[in-house]
Chains A and B, each alone.
Chain A
Amino acid sequence: METEPAVNHLPFLLARMLLGGFFLAAGVQKLFLPQQTLSSVYSYQLPLPDSLAVLVATALPWTEILLGAALLLRLWPGVTLAWTLLLLVLFLGLTTMAWARGLAIDCGCLDLSRIHPSLKVLSTPGGAALRNLVLLGFAVGLWFCQPRRSAGKF
């Protein structure tokens, strides 16, 4: 009788903690700065009508909080990871586009400069794009390599 090879869950746990912590912290930060969140949406200079920009700024903090909590608690991994990938691809696209256009903006994502001033560079479009790329790498790793639960559960 064959037995399944033992899987080291630690890397997956760390990746989920990193992604979950990032989304949770970013969401909570946005939640208490509604005007800055809206300014950040506008700063990307996207052809969005005012009402849609407000809706994005309204839904985004809670999406990030729900997503972060679900990642940390490993709730519905398939759905959570699908949203994580979707958001990170979107963020990566937006920050890369802002970087390519030379926009001198704050990315509106998690501000780490409170930890250390030098981390402010991660809030520039280039720094944020790089950060999103790294996070996307973790999410892709989780999506393809994380051991699945038994069929029927999600």
Chain B
Amino acid sequence: MRFLDQLVANTSILIFYDLFFTFTILFSECYLLLYESLRMGGISGMKKFLLFLAFPAVSLGLGAAWQSVHPLGYWSFRKTVPSDGFARVTWGETASKVGTGEWLLIDARTEEEFQRAHLPGAVSLPSHSFPEMIVFFVEEQDRNKTAVIYCDTAECDRSVELARRLRDEVGWTNLRILDGGMLGWKRSRP
């Protein structure tokens, strides 16, 4: 079912953006083809025009297929996210430490997702934040604390991505990944 859901979602997105790309190209880039058509003849020009449109469409189709099967792809249905050396902790262990202020809980999802719902006591730092934003965020925090990072599920990779960036870009060493992410927390609740 998950595969079917993703297939339907991906297909609708693809159709929308294929149309978007097509019309953008039609209105902004056809002068290149018109120029070429005038030099080479009408029929050839039409073929070229169709071929020109096929480029982004084929790329998008191949890209969507690739991102669906690649373990770190954006819509992957067979994600096996490596922890990249970061220890995983459970929500039970994390909740008490965050409650006493010993640990810092970081939400690696987007700001909009954070606004919709987040774990108690969490602060937002999207995994795709600009480097300056990450430096600014770390300056505001106590770096001696253990930071526990989470995203949607056990299979999402944004928590690992953010942990990697915090380690590599600002040298934060006490980093852990919340096992199960938001979904694990929801499931652990009675």
Taking chain A's interface residues, is the majority helix, strand, or loop, or is none over half, making it mixed?
Answer: helix
Closest B residue by C-beta to A50? B110
In the complex, A66 has a CB within 8 A of chain B: yes
In the complex, A107 has a CB within 8 A of chain B: no
User: Among A34, A54, A151, which residue has the most Cβ atoms of chain B within 10 A?
Assistant: A34
Total number of residue pairs linking A and B with CB closer than 8 Å: 93
Q: How big is the B interface, by class?
A: 35 or more
Interface string of B120-132 (1 = CB under 8 A from A): 0000000110111
**Interface residues of A, count at CB 8 A:** 36
Closest B residue by C-beta to A85? B32
Interface string of B33-63 (1 = CB under 8 A from A): 1001001110110011001100110111011
Would you call B63 and A76 a contact (CB within 8 A)? Answer: no
Q: Which residues of A contact B184 (CB under 8 A)?
A: none
**Docked CA distance A57–B17 (Å):** 13
Would you call A86 and B63 a contact (CB within 8 A)? Answer: no
Would you call B59 and A62 a contact (CB within 8 A)? Answer: yes
Q: Which residues of A contact B52 (CB under 8 A)?
A: 79, 82-83
**A97, chain B: closest CB distance, angstroms:** 15
In the complex, B66 has a CB within 8 A of chain A: yes
Interface string of A55-88 (1 = CB under 8 A from B): 1011111110011000000001011001101100
Would you call B44 and A58 a contact (CB within 8 A)? Answer: no
Between-chain CB contacts (< 8 Å), 14 pairs? A35-B161, A55-B17, A55-B60, A58-B60, A59-B60, A62-B59, A62-B62, A62-B66, A66-B55, A66-B58, A66-B59, A79-B48, A82-B29, A152-B44
- Among all A-B residue pairs, the 7 with the closest Cβ atoms: A58-B63, A62-B59, A63-B59, A62-B62, A42-B128, A59-B60, A59-B59
